[in-house]
Amino acid sequence: MTQLEQRTAAETRVHQPGETTVRVGPVSGRVRWRQVTVVVGAAVAVVLLGAASLGRGDFPIGLTDVLRTLVGLGEDTQEFIVLELRAPRIVVGALVGLALGVAGALFQTFARNPLASPDVLGITQGASAGAVAAIVLGGTAGGSGLLGGLGVPLAALLGALVTGLLLLVLAWRSGIDGYRMVLVGIALWAVAAAVTDWLLTRAEIYDAATAYVWITGSLNARTWGEAVPLLVALAVLLPAALATSRALGVVQFGDDTARGLGVRLVPTQAVVVLVAVALTAAAVAAAGPIAYVALVVPQVAIRLTGGARPPLLASGLVGAALVVGADLLTRTVLPQALPVGVLTAAVGAPYLLWLLVRGRRRSTL
């Protein structure tokens, strides 16, 4: 038996049900068909929800007219509504859900903790502090002053990045321990929340109202000006996140195991955290801190795929479907249009409590 035949036989013996080995020259990998099905199904769900959202609203448009508008054959009014009002909102929602889903999967796999998400680690709260500072100190319209000149999205981006860098620096002790990172993140969340509350007490009533809408997380009035920079950011960050997938699969078994298998642990940890922080910062800068998407979606993706860790691409697409679907519900089903972050928080907060209760029960067994 040749060496290639021996290797193929060994791979066949360790196959799990529903797996197929695919070989292209010297490169081989396993395809898990259940995971592929979830990825395709989530992508189809995003497309269907987006198509439904394009035609629903205060001015309903039929599916045929929506398709005609998308190919440039619609009326001027329909083109304005579909292409300028609804399409940017849907695209931003899908990209934000994709970014938050992948960021949550990175954090939870790295920390080996289902509570590790940008919401719990203080990154979204840091973005909120930056945005509220821009609104309160610079004026609702981004008036005079340094913070006002930066604009709310850029201030939120800076707030998230600064908080993420503080998280990396304070949790670093010759590497990052997941448990320590969660504790440091909770402390940073508390500090950022205190700064946000202090700024709101100083704000004029109109600025405070604007700030409260923003920190809830909303897709209202999103334009291509938010969609295009977010798309560019994801074009860089998503391949970087997927490139860490193999190393993350080893890191989840512990630091000693990862070192023994040849993983350069410290650079890998730093890259994973920085990519996850950057994904979160880009998403929050585009639509505000849409709560609990990054917390809930990776755990949903695990259960759908039947894997041992959050799958990155599946988590991102499930997050996109969640945000687009939640926005559709807030605009068409609820009696009053609400920011999409209200609905995701209504789903995510009970889930967070359930995680805490389950963790406490396990610790007392």
- Give the closest residue to 46 by CA, choosing from 91, 78, 89, 86: 91
Handedness of CA 67, 71, 74, 78 (dihedral sign): positive
pLDDT of residue 364: 47
C-alpha span between 203 and 214 (Å, rounded)? 14
Structural domain boundaries enclosing 268: 31-359
pLDDT of residue 314: 92
Residue 45 reports pLDDT greater than 60: yes
- The tokens for 339 are 């920011």
Higher pLDDT residue, 233 or 258? 233
As a whole number, mean pLDDT of residues 234-253 equals 82
pTM: predicted TM-score of the whole model, two decimal places: 0.83
pLDDT of residue 254: 63
Give 97's pLDDT tier (boundaries 50, 70, 90). very high
Look at 13-17, 123-127, 236-240, 317-321 and tell me which has the smallest mean pLDDT: 13-17
pLDDT of residue 252: 67
Look at 188-197, 246-255, 298-307 and tell me which has the smallest mean pLDDT: 246-255
C-alpha span between 178 and 3 (Å, rounded)? 40
The answer as to whether 51 is a domain residue is yes
Give 101's pLDDT tier (boundaries 50, 70, 90). very high
pLDDT of residue 123: 92
The answer as to whether 22 is a domain residue is no
> Where residue 133 sits, what CATH number does that domain have?
1.10.3470.10
C-alpha span between 216 and 212 (Å, rounded)? 6
Look at 164-178, 220-234, 293-307, 321-335 and tell me which has the smallest mean pLDDT: 164-178
DSSP string, 168-193: HHHHBSSSB-HHHHHHHHHHHHHHHH
Residue 261 reports pLDDT greater than 50: yes
The answer as to whether 95 is a domain residue is yes
C-alpha span between 233 and 235 (Å, rounded)? 5
Give the number of domains in the chain: 1
CA of 159: how far to CAs of 63, 122, 130, 171, in Å? Answer: 41, 10, 5, 18
pLDDT tens digit string along 274-288? 899 999 989 998 888
The answer as to whether 17 is a domain residue is no
Percent of the chain with pLDDT over 90: 25
Give 143's pLDDT tier (boundaries 50, 70, 90). very low
- The tokens for 45 are 């769900």
The answer as to whether 140 is a domain residue is yes
Q: For tokens 């950057």, what's the residue?
A: 278
The answer as to whether 13 is a domain residue is no
- Give the closest residue to 49 by CA, choosing from 285, 344, 332, 305: 332
Q: Which residues contact 35 (CB under 8 A, 6 or more apart)?
A: 305, 307, 311, 314
Give 190's pLDDT tier (boundaries 50, 70, 90). very high
C-alpha span between 77 and 71 (Å, rounded)? 15
- Give the closest residue to 153 by CA, choosing from 282, 51, 10: 282
Q: Which residues contact 48 (CB under 8 A, 6 or more apart)?
A: none
Residue 7 reports pLDDT greater than 70: no
As a whole number, mean pLDDT of residues 205-229 equals 85
Handedness of CA 237, 120, 196, 101 (dihedral sign): positive
Q: How confident is the prediction for the chain on average, in pLDDT?
A: 80
Give 41's pLDDT tier (boundaries 50, 70, 90). very high
pLDDT tens digit string along 28-37? 556 677 888 9
pLDDT tens digit string along 342-356? 888 887 778 777 766
CA of 262: how far to CAs of 11, 176, 234, in Å? Answer: 21, 18, 29
Higher pLDDT residue, 238 or 84? 238
pLDDT of residue 359: 57
The answer as to whether 18 is a domain residue is no
The answer as to whether 20 is a domain residue is no
As a whole number, mean pLDDT of residues 314-340 equals 87
Q: Which residues contact 153 (CB under 8 A, 6 or more apart)?
A: 131, 226, 285, 286
- The tokens for 225 are 């000006």
pLDDT of residue 162: 92
